[in-house]
Amino acid sequence: MTVVVNTRDDFTLANFQRVSYGEEPVRIGAGAHRSMTAGARQGPAVGSPGKETVRQAPWATRGADFGGGYLDPAAVRGILFARLASLVPGHTGARPIVAERVAALLDGPMPRVPLDGQVSAGEALPMAHVLAGLRRDDLHEGEEEALLGGSPCSAALAADAAISARYRLGCAEGVCALSIEGFGAPLTAYDEALDGLWGDPHETAALRGLRRYLDGAGTAERRFHQAPVSYRIIPRVLGQVHRAVAAVEKAATVSLRSVTSDVVYVSDELGRPAGRAVRSGGYLNGMAYPALNALSAAWADLALVAERQVTALNTAETSGLPVNLVAPGASGNGTYAYGWAANGYVEEARAAATPALLPGAVDDLHADVLSPTFSAYRRERRAAECLDGVLAILAIVSSQALFVTGRNPAGPLLPVLSFVRSVFPPIDGAGDRDLSADGGRLQQALGAAALSGQLAV
């Protein structure tokens, strides 16, 4: 399939996903051709104020940044897609051939974009990498600014994070529900009456997500008194995550279709479609990095609550379950040491939740405010990775709690339990297992599920 773009309305999160992860090509549609041709005819003629932009010899800067690993090729594809949003409405003055060349880059291998050194005024530094393969010897006036200016990287990074965040949240709800079943927590803490009493749509979504997994859960063998706080507040903490995911989805949705070029050409009083040049600070995306910061914090908080549930499950005095969840007749410390392992992930997640603010550095008197999106994106990745680690441990411990007591979870959780046990079978004391490697595989499987949306090996 091919994604055809004609207007800004074609720059949706769904189309982003088709191009970035689905690896579909992009074609510039006839409508976009017409808009760009009209814009190019009059755009540069009114005089480009591009010389006043913060970009100085942008292509020459490519290669000055290095280290820190590289963006995933899917994210680079997403940046190329996002770049087109500023071009197709014709506001940049770029010709259709320029957009076609950008789209054609998606037909080949992606260039490597280093993660370090990408903090600057605007996003010209990473864009110079992204567009490294673009023919530019015949660019017209203003077209270089149109290619390098604006904030397509922020749009793409927000979109990339939004896609995995929604899936990761779904996985987290499944694992938390499995933990509720493993612990035998009372179900009233997730009662539908709370939807209206709390009155928050995100908490309602979290409550419904949990109830979906817990549908048909038995009421026998549950503790008669209230569960520890970490079990009762989980819908509210998951509600916070829903809120953060919705915010990053909104940031992505808005940013993908924004025209953020440093100079935009718009109709003037004479009705010429590109008769007036307007300078813009669109190159600083002010919504992506705060949304990513909030997501990192939400992952960190969820990781902490998951760790507390691991501790509750492992502690016989709290849970009423067998000590360390050791299987009958087995030796060893059961799942106890996983509780310790969870501590490291929690602390790393909390460190990653330090927000990316507007950078303190200044390039020069004109480039005096820089974009922190790359920093925020990397921290969100790290916080998410740590959450996957804690969720893997919570899944292991919950599975073990059910195993040692011979219980099954509610029906909708059986596929989740099956997934967990296909990667990490219960610790039954038989054979010699590398529990570290097995745990790592489950963390990786959860990470893969955050990209595919499927809890499957």
Partner 1 sequence: MTVVVNSRDDFTLENYRRVATGGEAVAIGPEARTTMAEGRANFLRLLESDRTQFIYGVTSSFGPRAKLTIPPDQQRAHARAFGFRRGNWARGFGGGYLDERVVRGIVFARLANFVAGNSKARPVVAERLAALLDGPLPRVPLDGEVGAGEVLPMAHVMYGLPRGDLEEGEANPLMNGSPVSAALAADTALQAGHRLDHAEQIFALSVEAFGAPLDVYDDVLDGLWGDEDEASALAALRRHLAGASPGGRRPAVPASYRVLGRVLGQAHRAVTGAEEAARVSLRSVTDNPVYVPPDDGHPLGRAFSTGGFHNAMAYPALNALAAAWADLTLLAQRHVTALGAAAASAPPVPDSGSAAGAATGLEPVLSGLVEEARAAAMPTLLPAAVNDPQDDVSSPVFSAYRRQARAAECLDGALAVLAAKASQALLQAGRQPALPLQDLLADVRAIFPPVEGSPHDIGARGGDLAAALARSAVTGSAPFGASQ
Residues 45-74 that bind partner 1 (CB under 8 A): 49, 52, 54
Tokens read off for 161: 């994070």
Residues 213-232 that bind partner 1 (CB under 8 A): 223-232
CB 109 within 8 A of CB 129: no
Among 278, 323, 430, 456, binds partner 1 (CB under 8 A): 278
Can you tell me the distance from the alpha carbon of 207 to that of 317, in angstroms, rounded to the nearest whole number?
Answer: 28
Given the complex with partner 1, which of 353 and 420 has the nearer CB atom?
353
Among 37, 56, 188, 436, binds partner 1 (CB under 8 A): 188
Q: Per CB under 8 A, does 136 bind partner 1?
A: no
* Stretch near partner 1 under the rule CB under 8 A, chosen from 60-68, 107-115, 277-285, 447-455: 277-285
Can you tell me the distance from the alpha carbon of 380 to that of 374, in angstroms, rounded to the nearest whole number?
Answer: 10
Among 132, 254, 327, 448, binds partner 1 (CB under 8 A): 254
Among 147, 189, 420, 427, binds partner 1 (CB under 8 A): 189
Backbone angles phi, psi at 28, to 5 degrees: -80, 120
Q: Per CB under 8 A, does 297 bind partner 1?
A: yes
Among 76, 214, 237, 446, binds partner 1 (CB under 8 A): 237
Q: Per CB under 8 A, does 287 bind partner 1?
A: yes
Residue type, 9: D
Q: Per CB under 8 A, does 112 bind partner 1?
A: no
Residues 82-101 that bind partner 1 (CB under 8 A): 91
Among 14, 30, 64, 357, binds partner 1 (CB under 8 A): 357
Tell the burial category of 108 from Cβ atoms under 10 Å away from its Cβ (0-12, 13-18, 19+). Answer: exposed
Query: Tokens 């680690």 belong to which residue?
Result: 389
Residues 146-165 that bind partner 1 (CB under 8 A): none
CA–CA–CA angle 48, 35, 270 (5° rounding): 60
Q: Per CB under 8 A, does 29 bind partner 1?
A: no
Tell the burial category of 13 from Cβ atoms under 10 Å away from its Cβ (0-12, 13-18, 19+). Answer: middle
Tell the burial category of 35 from Cβ atoms under 10 Å away from its Cβ (0-12, 13-18, 19+). Answer: buried
* Stretch near partner 1 under the rule CB under 8 A, chosen from 98-106, 108-116, 290-298, 397-405: 290-298
Tokens read off for 284: 């600083």
The torsion defined by the Cα of 32, 38, 44 and 48, in degrees rounded to 10, comes to: -60
Given the complex with partner 1, which of 213 and 283 has the nearer CB atom?
283
Among 360, 431, 434, 437, binds partner 1 (CB under 8 A): 360
Given the complex with partner 1, which of 105 and 124 has the nearer CB atom?
124
Given the complex with partner 1, which of 23 and 192 has the nearer CB atom?
192
Among 17, 35, 118, 293, binds partner 1 (CB under 8 A): 293
Count the site residues for partner 1 by CB under 8 A.
85
The residue among 342, 391, 334, 398 whose CA lies nearest residue 184 is 398
Can you tell me the distance from the alpha carbon of 30 to that of 37, in angstroms, rounded to the nearest whole number?
Answer: 10
Tell the burial category of 80 from Cβ atoms under 10 Å away from its Cβ (0-12, 13-18, 19+). Answer: buried
Q: Per CB under 8 A, does 27 bind partner 1?
A: no
CB 18 within 8 A of CB 81: no
Q: How far is the CB of 48 from partner 1 (least distance, A)?
A: 13
Given the complex with partner 1, which of 156 and 287 has the nearer CB atom?
287
Radius of gyration for the alpha carbons in the chain, expressed in angstroms and rounded? 25
Residues 361-380 that bind partner 1 (CB under 8 A): 362, 365-370
